[in-house]
Structure 1
Amino acid sequence: MAEPQSVITQVSADQGLPPVMQDQGQDFLDDDSLIHMNIQENHYYITRDQLMSLPESLLLCLFPSGVFMDRTGQVITNLTSQDEVYVGNFAPDCFEYIMENYVRAQEDLVNFPVEEIFDRGLSSREPSRFFGFSSPNALSPAGHSEADILHEKPSIIVLREDLDYYCVPFQPLSYPEDASDELKTGLDENFISQVKLAAGSYLSVQTSVFQGLHSSNRLKKPQSDSPDQPTPKLGPAEQHLMDMLCSSGFQGTSVWGNRAQEPGKSVISSLSLCRLMNETTQEFRDQVEEAKKNHEEKMLSTRAQSESPSLTPLQSPSQQHNDTKRKSRLSSLADNVRSRSASRHRSSSRQRQDQAPTLYELVSKPDINSKLLLFWKKPARKCWWGEEELKLPLKLYGQVNPETGELLLLPDGPIVTVEVPIKLHIRRVWTLELSVVGVE
């Protein structure tokens, strides 16, 4: 099968929420009551509108079956305020991380509407009510495109990683001579469990977002393990994906906002919610306020200089009479022309100073990658494999043969610390989606 050339493989259209979830609680939607959510015995209350405004990729993580269920696993067919929606396979701190970001974006949307900056409903002569400067779009109302949404609404880049890992230990093992098959099986299972836990701890502390991209089997690894060896170069698809994310708010050193191993599974789930740096952010508002302050100080300084009296040397009456005599009729005419021209120039300059600058004359327009619109309401996935050979420290009941290095597994007895060499096979699945707050 040919390898796809796209940066990220698009999720098929039938991956959306099932109709059952879309239809649940339609009567409940009419009133503004709260949904009681129980996430691993942590209780939260959220409106249905708030919940359904979350991006599809996150809703499918919260409700994999696409329906609301109670504690007993029964589907809630008619959701009311008395029902308890139970979620047992999602981390509570991850849910809190999600809601903190979306509540902050919603507050920016309500308290600092960008429409007041652009001020499209007013004429070009009226200043913006929010910043006190004339709107750039009011001066040029034409050309409003879909890409402008990324400048007008709070937007969040949702990047999720589901990591599965598989351990292949190379440690030679032995068992007591009188051990039964059942005991050997139990010792093996305990050994593998300890290996998986140690591997999970090793991977969990790797919080760099883009470290996984450099671990793909498709990349050419350096021949030596020396730390001086350069990092393997990304392929064109991986580099394109990283460039798009880094130009939209991520940094090369970005870390996952939430990363945790699922209990009892060799699965690590990571999530990063990156706010798109556009006109809705506090950083942009601070830049505008600072630019406004600097502009006003400059205007006051310029006005003070223009209104200060000019100092010219005094001349005696005889000198003035002689100078007047020396002026010819032609030079007097030229002086009059220059005087009228200077007067018009001062008047035009004064008019330009009195006219408020546009928003983007004060602050540069944020440079937003329009390719993000490809992932708006269209979650996409990318999957790749990687492998790594390492030694994991384990604490087990047993003894190590110093000559052969063989590990004797025991059901009890002294605890030994041994470094077990393993090969770690890692499968990563990235899900990328753009979420625009305030747009249905």
Structure 2
Amino acid sequence: MTSSGSPITQVAEYSLCQDFAQDDHLHEKNLLSKQVRLRLRDERIDIDLETLILLPDSITLGMFPDGLGLEHFINGSAVLFDETHTIDFDPVCFNYMKSFFEETRQISLKHHTLTANIPLGLDTSSNNTDSVVTSILTGNKQLVIVLREELDYFILPRSTNPSSNTSTTDNNSSSGTKTDTTTTTTTSRNRQQLKTRAGTYLVQENKIFDALVKNIEKENNTAEQHLISMLCEAGFDYDDQWAYRALDPKRTCVASVSLCRLGVATGSTHRLDIIQRFMLFWKKPARKCWWDAEELDIDNTTIRLWKRRTFWLELATA
């Protein structure tokens, strides 16, 4: 899936902080259990450093574009813990991921005693990816599949109800230039209302794979169909809805997130096959972008709704 003709592009992603999870300095200083104070859109949320490190890199990169500054702990600095970090991020989405990774970490701790059950024939010393596979197979780590969608949308009003136009014309003719200003303000307000209503409509279209399936049928793309099948084998369901889906308060954008732990039976050969296939995306998130459009009737106005979808597949462990 890394070839130039691939329907889904992959890029190696710099790991913001997960590699620090095994850092001896963090363990020696007992920093992993310390709380990081966040203020997300005026809501205070505390999270321990270990859980924060486990979150998908794409999320933490968005929240901390300059990094967490963990390397400074070697020199005794603790800026990360001394400050309350104000970040423009939906607290509902963050709490969903925080709870999911906390629960997943507890599952891994309960299975920690299974580390001796390493399948025969698996070379655990060849590279870091094999080490991750072994940890997942033995239950020391859980493989978390992260699906995200960023849906930017744009509206083009095409027509309005004739009766509404007549009313507006009559008002304009009787009120003069002052009404022209009022009409401009009203038009701007109406456009904003149309954007909000269109966003609400898109939020309600909340099945994870619907848009991707429609695009697959349009392009007759079997590779992406196989990807959906693989995701369903791993624990997603074909008719699943997004666990989190909301309209951005500052942009015409709908953000969606769903997390899933690999759900194939422990110790099975099929589980190893699934894990190894997903390892193609380890540290190389997959992304697909495409456009589609449709017509909607909102408040007596027909609009052309253009949608630019960016669908992400990313892996994490906990």
Q: TM class, shorter-chain normalised? A: 0.7 to 0.9
Provide the residue aligned with 1:423 in structure 2. Answer: 304
The 1:97–1:29 alpha-carbon spacing in structure 2 relative to 1, beyond 3 Å, is farther
Provide the residue aligned with 1:386 in structure 2. Answer: 292
One-letter amino acid matched to 1:245: L
One-letter amino acid matched to 2:45: Y
CA contact (8 A) 2:12 2:283 kept: no
CA contact (8 A) 2:40 2:89 kept: yes
2:137 counterpart of 1:151? yes
- Residue 291 of structure 2 aligns to a residue whose secondary structure is strand
C-alpha distance after superposition, 1:80-113 (max 9, x if no partner): 53311111x2111111110111111110111222
Provide the residue aligned with 1:47 in structure 2. Answer: 48
Provide the residue aligned with 1:171 in structure 2. Answer: 159
Provide the residue aligned with 1:191 in structure 2. Answer: 190
Provide the residue aligned with 2:240 in structure 1. Answer: 254
In structure 2, how many angstroms separate the alpha carbons of the residues matched to 1:80 and 1:31? 14
In structure 2, how many angstroms separate the alpha carbons of the residues matched to 1:389 and 1:436? 41
In structure 1, how many angstroms separate the alpha carbons of the residues matched to 2:92 and 2:28? 27
In structure 2, how many angstroms separate the alpha carbons of the residues matched to 1:5 and 1:161? 22
CA contact (8 A) 1:215 1:386 kept: no
One-letter amino acid matched to 1:435: A
Provide the residue aligned with 1:97 in structure 2. Answer: 96
Unaligned runs of 5+ in 1: 70-76, 121-136, 221-232, 285-358, 395-418
2:85 counterpart of 1:85? yes
Unaligned runs of 5+ in 2: 70-76, 125-129
One-letter amino acid matched to 1:94: C
In structure 2, how many angstroms separate the alpha carbons of the residues matched to 1:165 and 1:245? 26
In structure 1, how many angstroms separate the alpha carbons of the residues matched to 2:121 and 2:186? 73
C-alpha distance after superposition, 1:374-411 (max 9, x if no partner): 1112222110111111212x3xxxxxxxxxxxxxxxxx
1:275-314 equivalences in 2 (<5 Å):
275-278=261-264
1:41-440 equivalences in 2 (<5 Å):
41-63=42-64, 65-67=65-67, 79=79, 81-87=81-87, 89-113=88-112, 115=114, 118-119=116-117, 137=119, 141-144=120-123, 146=130, 147-152=133-138, 153-172=141-160, 173=165, 174-175=168-169, 176-177=172-173, 178-180=176-178, 181-216=180-215, 219-220=217-218, 234-278=220-264, 366=271, 368-369=273-274, 370-392=276-298, 394=299, 419-437=300-318
The 1:203–1:84 alpha-carbon spacing in structure 2 relative to 1, beyond 3 Å, is same
Q: Percent identity?
A: 29
C-alpha distance after superposition, 1:127-180 (max 9, x if no partner): xxxxxxxxxx4xxx4434524444232111001100000111112455522244
CA contact (8 A) 2:61 2:67 kept: no
The 1:238–1:154 alpha-carbon spacing in structure 2 relative to 1, beyond 3 Å, is same
CA contact (8 A) 1:385 1:428 kept: yes
Larger Rg: 1
- Residue 378 of structure 1 aligns to a residue whose secondary structure is coil
The 1:421–1:48 alpha-carbon spacing in structure 2 relative to 1, beyond 3 Å, is same
The 1:12–1:434 alpha-carbon spacing in structure 2 relative to 1, beyond 3 Å, is closer
Tell me the CA shift for residue 38 of structure 1. Answer: 1.4
CA contact (8 A) 1:5 1:237 kept: no
- Residue 182 of structure 2 aligns to a residue whose secondary structure is helix
One-letter amino acid matched to 1:143: L
CA contact (8 A) 1:150 1:278 kept: no
TM-score (norm: length of structure 2): 0.77
C-alpha distance after superposition, 1:211-238 (max 9, x if no partner): 111443x854xxxxxxxxxxxx852233
